């Protein structure tokens, strides 16, 4: 007489295979979700940094004489750029300072006070603009170019006389997830100061 049905061994083999398939599909689904989250976070960070650089570009491009008549550019170093502009659109020219501190780029803003106008540094309001900034040892955050720059000349070697500055370059890497894939993203801008053009 022939037996009908499945043996216990056959049922265990099929159950093991089914559980293995479910585990593989579940693990794959979790990995895809994790990857999707990482890519989304990286894209959002890149978008946020690009939007922030648009603010920086607008500020630098519209640099102008201060409320007390001082030259539009106040300080220009490899890690700090200080200038005057109406950053908040209120009609008053603020003193704006972009600078690198630790691994973040900050913007300091000072509103003018009194007559004649002054810019007391104690009233500077700091805003954290970009985090996880990486500056390779062979480069600088800011570079400055004079009126002779046509696209191939090197940056100015000295910024002791800020009146020669016509363009400001800013470049850095930013890594939203330090020491994890996909790695740092490179950002760079080159901005001409409209009110200092020679033409």
Q: What pLDDT was estimated at residue 99?
A: 96
pLDDT classification of 6: cutoffs 50, 70, 90: confident
Residues 102-151 pLDDT 10s? 889 999 999 999 988 999 999 999 999 998 898 988 889 999 999 989 88
- Mean pLDDT along residues 86-94: 91
Assigned token pair, 176: 């939203």
Asked if the model's pLDDT at residue 100 lies above 60, the reply is yes
- Give the sheet arrangement for strand 73-76, strand by strand: 73-76, 80-85, 94-101, 104-110, 125-130
Asked if the model's pLDDT at residue 101 lies above 60, the reply is yes
- Reported for 32-35, long-range contacts at CB under 8 A and 24+ positions apart, including other chains, are none
**Would you say residue 21 lies in a domain?**
no
- The total of structural domains in the chain comes to 1
**Would you say residue 98 lies in a domain?**
yes
Q: What pLDDT was estimated at residue 34?
A: 77
**Would you say residue 3 lies in a domain?**
no
- In the chain, alpha helices (H): 8-61
Assigned token pair, 6: 């499945």
- CA atoms of 161 and 71, how far apart (whole Å): 11
**Would you say residue 135 lies in a domain?**
yes
- CA atoms of 1 and 171, how far apart (whole Å): 84
Nearest to 174 by CA among 158, 185, 160: 185
- CA atoms of 194 and 54, how far apart (whole Å): 15
- CA atoms of 97 and 182, how far apart (whole Å): 31
pLDDT classification of 30: cutoffs 50, 70, 90: confident
Nearest to 71 by CA among 93, 48, 46: 93
Q: Which domain holds residue 165?
A: 36-196
Q: Supply φ then ψ for residue 77, to 5 degrees.
A: -125, 180
Per the listing, tokens 């599909």 go with 25
Is 21 in a helix, a strand, or coil? Answer: helix
**Would you say residue 154 lies in a domain?**
yes
Has this prediction a pTM greater than 0.85? no
**Percentage of the residues of the chain whose pLDDT score is greater than 90:** 56
**Would you say residue 173 lies in a domain?**
yes
């Amino acid at each position: 007489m022939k037996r009908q049905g499945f043996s216990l061994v056959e049922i265990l083999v099929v159950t093991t295979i089914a559980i293995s398939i479910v585990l593989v599909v579940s693990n794959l689904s979790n990995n895809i979700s994790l990857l999707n989250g990482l890519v989304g976070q990286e894209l959002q960070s890149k978008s946020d940094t690009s939007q922030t650089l648009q603010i920086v570009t607008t500020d630098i491009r519209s640099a102008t004489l201060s409320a007390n008549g001082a030259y539009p550019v106040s300080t220009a170093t490899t890690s700090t750029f200080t200038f005057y502009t109406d950053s908040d659109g209120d009609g008053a020219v603020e003193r704006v300072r972009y600078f690198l501190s630790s691994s973040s780029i900050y913007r300091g803003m000072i509103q003018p006070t009194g007559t004649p106008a002054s810019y007391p540094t104690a009233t500077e309001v700091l805003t954290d603009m970009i985090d996880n900034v990486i500056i390779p040892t062979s480069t600088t955050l800011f570079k400055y170019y004079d009126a002779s720059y046509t696209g191939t000349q090197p940056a100015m070697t000295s910024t002791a006389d800020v009146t020669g500055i016509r363009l400001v370059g800013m470049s850095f890497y930013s890594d939203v997830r330090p020491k994890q894939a996909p790695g740092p993203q490179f950002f760079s801008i080159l901005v001409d100061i409209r009110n200092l053009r020679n033409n």
